[in-house]
Amino acid sequence: MNAIEIKNISKSYGEIKALDNVSFEVKKGELFGLIGPDGAGKTTLFRLLTTLINPDAGSATVDGLDMIKDYRAIRTRVGYMPGRFSLYPDLSVEENLQFFAAIFGATVQQSYHLIEPIYKQIEPFKTRRAGKLSGGMKQKLALSCALIHCPSVLFLDEPTTGVDAVSRSEFWDMLSELKKQGITILVSTPYMDEASRCDRIALINEAKILGIDTPENMVKAFDLPLYGVKAKNMFALLEVARKQPGVLNCYPFGEMHHLVADVSFNAEDMKKALAKVEGFCVEPAVPTIEDMFIKLMKQ
């Protein structure tokens, strides 16, 4: 059985289409990533699936339950960590945890095995008010609270936004641990480099799903020749490279620019043509999720 099934869901706010005919499934026990920029519709999808709002069209089930008919039952089974910090700043760490447990009719002891690896890191500060915690500690407390009733499906809306690269990677380690406990996780992120931490991903932009697959297959589907180009003056190189024959696109990509070519492109010809450009070099490059995202956005 699928943990989440979304069928042709659409949602608008006035003139603005937040979700346009979105369909996909998340399998039980899957760590599924929803990857896209701000304004893509990620938060709307989370609010729909956690039964906080209703769709204009389409239907969805969570844990086999209908999002409209069975909304009360869904709420007892899902854990939700919204993008914005939503705990009680005036309650202490411990009080927040106990409060959320009480609401769900659970006890901290019941779920302690689940939250222990995360909660242990903030336990030394359990008497501190939640509002006085640092960003990283707030995030760990929010995740602990979302797990307090041992949910079968966990919804995490941009848990790593604004978090540095090292803390982000630690957060994903925590998610991998939770996955081992059998929890289905739907997590959204604007960071493309986090895609590889998911079992499957959906790329989302401007209310539409651009593609769904495993991160490996997503990258394999990039079917155009891709090169990395470099020169002393990287900014000037962009303009020059874009004018070369067979070049479809050229954009900054860290240390090198990525150059998307068509079949007529010949790297040797480009080397000859740009022999005068100081430090010029061109070599085949391996596509990433971000290259795929750019390609799909352009289509």
Site string for other proteins, 232-271 (x = CB under 8 A): --xx--x------------xxxxx----------------
What is the end-to-end Cα distance of the chain in Å, rounded? 33
- DSSP character string of 147-214: TTT--SEEEESSTTTT--HHHHHHHHHHHHHHHHTT-EEEEEES-GGGGGGSSEEEEEETTEEEEEE-
Q: Which of 134, 176, 181, 264 binds other proteins (CB under 8 A)?
A: 134
163 binds other proteins (CB under 8 A): yes
Question: In whole angstroms, how close is the CB of 221 to other proteins at the nearest point?
Answer: 17
- Min separation Cβ 28 and other proteins, Å: 30
- Decide: is 298 part of the binding site for other proteins (CB under 8 A): yes
- Toward other proteins, which CB reaches closer, 162 or 284? 162
Q: What is the DSSP string of 68-135?
A: TTTHHHHHHHEEEE-SS--S-TTSBHHHHHHHHHHHTT--HHHHHHHHHHHHTTTGGGTTSBGGGS-H
Residue in 167, 176, 181, 264 binding other proteins, rule: CB under 8 A: 167
Q: Tell me the two tokens of residue 2.
A: 């699928």
Q: What is the DSSP letter of 15?
A: T
161 interacts with other proteins by CB under 8 A: yes
Residue 192 binds other proteins (CB under 8 A): yes
Binding status of residue 283 toward other proteins by CB under 8 A: no
CA distance 267 to 246: 10
User: What single DSSP character describes residue 238?
Assistant: H
- Under rule CB under 8 A, residue 164 binds other proteins: yes
State the residues that interact with other proteins by CB under 8 A. 36-40, 134-137, 158, 161-169, 190-192, 205, 234-235, 238, 251-255, 290, 293-294, 297-298
